[in-house]
Structure 1
Amino acid sequence: MIPNGLLISAPASGTGKTTLMLGLARALSRKGLQVQPFKSGPDYIDPAFHTAATGRSGINMDSWAMPQSLLDNLLHRAEGADLILAEGSMGLFDGVASAGEVGNGASADIATSMGWPVVLVIDVSGQAQSAAATAKGFSELRPEMPFAGVVLNRVASPRHEMLSRVGMEQTGIKVLGALPRNPDITLPERHLGLVQAQEKGDLHDVLEAMADFVEKHVDVEMMLKMAGAQDHYRAPNKEATVQPPGQRIALAQDAAFSFVYPHVADQWRVAGSEILPFSPLADEAPDPTADICWLPGGYPELHAGALAAANHFKTSLVSFAADRPVHGECGGYMAMGDVLIDKDGVGHQMAGLLGLETSYAKRKMHLGYRHASLTKPMPGYKPGARLRGHEFHYSTILKQPDQPLADVKDANDQAIPETGSVRGNATGTFFHLISEGRKGN
């Protein structure tokens, strides 16, 4: 049986939904409840924080990139839990202009399809009763979307809270809590968003502080009563819907290579594949018994010197690729290339499986959904396969001399120059694989 759920969202980014999500998840978990976290959208950092807060693996759900069969499949991760908590991305209705697999990527799509009532976090800084107009509009824009109520954030004083509550009551919006301004409860950020959870040495203390903060200022019991779900999702599909690239998968996993979507690795296991982790930063080689090596994204630019000096890893990777496939995503793709230039303009020799040269000295943001039609095979997929993914990095391509791997377009069907590369058994893409596409190119 799948438990009821709530989706924590907001009118915009930076409004405080992560604080509420982590604080509430931690508060409920330490009370003994099993909380299954989900993340709406393609963010690959937040799920690790959700995992730390709950002890259950955080999983992405995405209405643009995932077919309904995969969304149904991912629900089985909530079996045995007492509650589902999902965190939205950006604003509640923010997505791309064109529809994808089952929606446009907006958090409202997930809330509606799963039946999880929305808890809207509203930053009331500089306003009071006027915030009710925002809440009213968000509660009614999609009548089919369940709406639980609001949590007021960054409240300046008891009087400010009282006036804000009055506005909500006058418009029939339920107030589930009011969080005062607290600049001490924050998580550090980097150019791709929050720092990785494993880098935050005091994460436990931060989560406990967030839980204390939320328990003090939010009506947790009322919020639990507002949870809901669609009846027809109570028996999720458990069959794997993401094709594994091989039976035994050597997967790079360390501080430089950590951005593999949790649901992708989970789907590989569901299909019967075995994952064999190794650390390039520790100069380890991929398992010689593996039949595929996968280098996920991460922060190779922060560890370029160490990777350049990891000669055992690089020579072993080249030997592995002599007769077996090696695939890299974003940071892994760059590590498979020839040269990676760091932010100071210093070039570092990478594995050289591909001729790719990238630079962080010439920063340019690349962000957005991607759908790709393979022109060459890559591990697990034949030419013509359609894949959906997401790209987010600041590196600039200086050289991309190898054959393109795919025709890649953004969510608006505009061609993207980051086509990926193929040379022999080595393939790479700048987008992170989310699912096999069913609609569009």
Structure 2
Amino acid sequence: MNSIQSEDSSDLPLDTLRVLVVAAFAGALVGIVGGAFRAALNFITSHFLAFSAYLHSIDGEWFVPGFIVVGLITSICVGISRMLVRLEPSTIGSGIQHVEAVMHGVAKPSPFRALPIKFFGGLLSIGSGMALGREGPTVQMAAIIGSECGKLTRLKVVEQALLYTAVAGAGLSVAFNAPLSGIAFSFEEISKKISIKRLMVSFAAVTSGMIVFRSYFGNSIEFVVGDLLPDLSISLYFYILFSVLLSFIAVLYSRTIIGTLNLSDSFPAISPVNKAMMIGFGLGALAYFYPTLVGGGDIQVQSLLSEDYFLFPLMLLMIGRFFLGPISYSTGVPGGIFSPILLMGSGIGVLFVLAVNPLLSHMALGQLDPISFALVGMAAFFTVVVRAPLTGILLAIEMSGKVGLMIPLLIASVICTTIPVLLKQEPIYDALRDRAHP
């Protein structure tokens, strides 16, 4: 830790320039690798869902029911993914907790072999229907690229550690096409400190990464959102009430993640691979009957933001996803929690408005905008679970292109940072890091 703290020790200008050049090169590689991961994941996910729909159309013509076929496919994919993790334990789960552990000096950077394990393991697990996000694997792969580039160019040890964590921000930027969010996440969550040198390195890595990513994979906004309704005079009061209610739900969600991990560990007689395969079979079978329940959550968020929802199905979706995310994460396969919690926040935001609007109509006070509350809910839920309010705000803005919700987002960030502290809820990556490195 002391060596990391000395990263801003006086360097010659050429030394600083060298680090920036290496960071820019590493960022460009992140743009290629992260973009390829996104593209491959989209391809696999779409074909997995299409194959499941095809089995529906011919169900009854095979000797084996369609749900068993899909369940076996997911089970095998998840099992292989979990076996890959055994080759390099640092690739388990999201991977962000390991990047943070390196920053805190309690773990060594992942070796290069972790990169293909994370890449292909993530494709197998997320692409086959597990309720996990792409951002965790992308961030860890970016950190590995930064570290390896530092080694190959023979940078100082402290500069290699700087690249490992700072370049990780380029991974998040590529995962969501959100450059400012990646920079904020690098400081707010991974390093938890700001220095001029770290800022410059992060800027260089994220800028080059985004240029390469957008050149090869396009620059479409993550979520297409229509015009928002103007806020009512009493809207801020409802944003406050919503943020308080959501904070308690999100704290419970964080505890459910840790609880499912503890529950999984309570069955040591069953190998991690077998546990992952059993859960994978269940998720695959569920995907056959209810495809909208599974996957990372991006498709469902876009449906919500396109106002394609009904009260009862949305309630079932939120209840199901509340448990599917933690259960999927308990398998230990490569996959993150960002996308699932963005879905939870947006869905709860829409449900809140659907519950309140009839009352407001009865009182002739107007209507709240469900999409506005969905976007605020995304940032708020993220803030409670991850405890990175600035990153949450920037994610909601960059992924939707809506900047008019700044005041509600700031209100939610204050409330959703305060309540978890009062409830003594540890940030999720701190809790995961403590489990791995007690």
Scaled by the length of structure 1, what TM-score is found? 0.29
More strand by share: 1
Greater RCO structure (CA 8 Å; 6+ sep): 2
More helix by share: 2
Scaled by the length of structure 2, what TM-score is found? 0.29
